[in-house]
Amino acid sequence: MARDVTDAAPISTRDELVAWFAEGEKPKSEWRIGTEHEKIPFYRADHSPVPYEGDAGIRAVIEGLASLNGWEPILDDGRPIGLGDEAGGGAISIEPGGQFELSGAPLASVHDTMRELERHLGEVRRIADPLGIGFLTLGMSPLWTRAETPVMPKRRYRIMAGYMPKVGRYGLDMMFRTATVQVNLDYGSESDMVRKLRTALALQPVAAALFANSPFTDGRPNGFLSMRSEIWRDTDPNRTGLLPFAFETGMGYDRMVDYALDVPMYFVKRGDTYHDVTGLSFRDLMDGRLAALPGERATRSDWANHISTIFPEVRLKRYLEMRGSDVGPPAMIAAQAALWTGLLYDEAALDGAADLVRFWSASDRQALRDEVPRLALDATVAGRSARDVARDVLALSRAGLARRGARDDSGPDETAFLDPLDEIVAGEVPSARWLRAYEGRWNRSVDQSFSEATF
C-alpha cells in the first residue's frame, strides 16, 4: 500500500459505508488497469538482505529515486517510506521486510502497463546498481531466515507484527518474506462487481498455479511450488481466503460492509499517531467504544485504511484487486494484467469464465485452493485438472483481449502478453524450472537464484 488515506469526513451510518463502495462504479469507457508488484532487494556482493538505513540502504534508494523522478516523499515519523506522483502516476512503497513496491497508475491498456513497468525498473536500476543492490523475481526470499530479514520503520507494521502471531502461523512470513503481483480492475455496477468478484475468487487458485514461483525457503526447497500461496492459508483467517459468503444469494455492497465491519481492526490513525486497536471492530469505532480512543468516531479515512488491511484472494475497495499470485519477471507481471483484463473486461469472456466455475461448490473451490500451493497445475477441481481449466481460461482471456482491440502504437494487440502462460500450461510452472536447476546445475544451492531470478 502506498500511503494511508486522509479524509476526516465523519461516517455515522452503515449506509455511508455502502455508498463508499458504490462510488467506485465507472462507465466502461473509464475502466482502467492498475498493476502493482513487489520485489525483494538484496546485495549482489554477498546475497544479503538490504536494511533501511545506511549509505546503500532502502532509504538511500527512495531518496535517490525522489531526486530522479521528482515524486513527493511519503514520510512516517519523519522517515521517507515511499514516494507518490502528485500527478496521479502511481506510488512507490516499502513492505515490512524491505520489499520494494510499485503501485502503478490506472492505465488504459496492458501496453501502457509494460511501458510503466519498464520505466520504473529503469529508474530503479539507475539508483540501485551503483549501490550494489539487485531485486529478486521470486515470490519469497529464498535464503534468509525471518530473523535475518530487516524490519522497515513503518509504525503500522509494528502493530501488525505484534498481532499476526496471535491469529496464524505464517503472518510474519507473509509480511517480511513474500512478494506478489496484483491487478486492479474497475466495475460498472453492483451486479457487475458481484459477477466479477465471484468469477475472480473462484479462478484465483488457477492463477496462483500458473504463476507459482516460490519454491525455496531458508536456502532449500520448501516442499511447495508456491510457498507464498501456502503462507496465506494460515495468515489470520478473519481477513483472508475465498470469501464463501460472496457466492450466496443477496451478495452486494451491503454484505461486504457487514463482513468488513466485523473484521478486527489493526489501528486508528489520528494526526501522526497510530493507535493500536487490534482485535476490536469497526462497529466499535462507529459506536465510540474504543478504549484507546474513548468517544472517538469513525471517518472516511478510517474506513479506507481498514479496508486496506483486509486480505482476501480478491479484495473489494472501490475497484477489485486480484491478489493471488507470486511475483515474477516483467513478462509475467504483464501476463497477469493481461489475463485478468481479457477475462473481466469483455462480456463474452466473463460469461464464459463464469460458466466454467458456475457449478463449483464452496468445498470444490476450497479444495482447489488447498491443493494449488503444493501441486500447482496438477491440482484438481470438480473432476478436472487445474491445467485443463487454465487452458480454457487462457483461451477465453485471449479472445477477450482480441475483441478489446487495444493496440500498441506499432500495431499488435494485447494478446501476445499471454504467450508466457500458454508455454506454462503446455509445460511446467516457474517453480518447477527452478527446482530442476537447483537439483542440477545449481548443485543444490540457491545462490544462483541471485543471478538468474532477478530483475
DSSP 3-state of 74: strand
| Other beta carbons less than 10 A from residue 145's beta carbon | 11
Which is nearest to 181 in space by CA: 115, 137, 133, 118? 137
Evaluate if residue 423 carries a pLDDT over 60: yes
In terms of DSSP H, where are the helices of 211-319?
Answer: 227-232, 253-262, 282-286, 300-307
When the pLDDT of each residue in the chain is averaged and rounded to a whole number, the result is 96
CB 304 within 8 A of CB 284: no
Opening angle at CA 204, ends 203 and 205, nearest 5: 95
- Which cell goes with 391? 487452458
pLDDT of amino acid 171: 98
Q: Give 2's pLDDT tier (boundaries 50, 70, 90).
A: very low
Closest CA to 336 of 420, 279, 428, 274: 420
Q: Which residues contact 355 (CB under 8 A, 6 or more apart)?
A: none
CA distance 299 to 279: 19
Cα 231 from Cα 212, distance rounded (Å): 13
Q: In Å, what is the CA distance from 393 to each residue of 154, 216, 378?
A: 39, 28, 16
What is the Cα gyration radius of the chain?
Answer: 21
279-323: pLDDT as tens digits: 999 999 999 999 889 999 999 999 999 999 999 999 999 999 999
The percentage of residues in the chain with a pLDDT greater than 90, rounded to a whole number, is 96
pLDDT at 126 over 80: yes
Confidence of residue 5 (pLDDT cuts 50, 70, 90): low
- Calculate mean pLDDT across residues 361-367: 98
The predicted pLDDT at position 393 comes to 98
Confidence at residue 173, expressed as pLDDT on a 0 to 100 scale: 98
- Indicate whether 3 pLDDT > 70: no
Across 6-20, 89-103, 203-217, least confident range = 6-20
d(CA 108, CA 413): 13
Query: Pick from 372, 33, 302, 299: which is nearest to 183 by CA?
Result: 33
- The string of DSSP codes covering 158-223 is HHHHHHGGGS-SSHHHHHHHB-EEEEEE--SSHHHHHHHHHHHHHHHHHHHHHT--B-EETTEE-S
Q: How confident is the model at residue 88 (pLDDT cuts 50, 70, 90)?
A: confident
Q: What is the mean pLDDT of residues 37-64?
A: 98
Q: Which residues, at least 6 apart from 419, have a Cβ–Cβ distance to it below 8 Å?
A: 335
Which residues on neighbouring strands pair with residue 380, listed in sequence order?
A: 385
Average pLDDT, stretch 132-137?
A: 98
Strands (E) located in 58-194: 72-76, 79-84, 90-94, 100-104, 133-136, 180-185
8 pLDDT band, cuts 50/70/90, is confident
* Residues ≥6 apart with Cβ < 8 Å to 38: 95, 99, 100, 101, 178, 179, 180, 181, 327
pLDDT of residue 224: 98
C-alpha to C-alpha distance for 206 and 377, rounded to whole angstroms: 7
Q: Which residue would you say has higher pLDDT here, 5 or 415?
A: 415
CATH of domain 14-452: 3.30.590.20
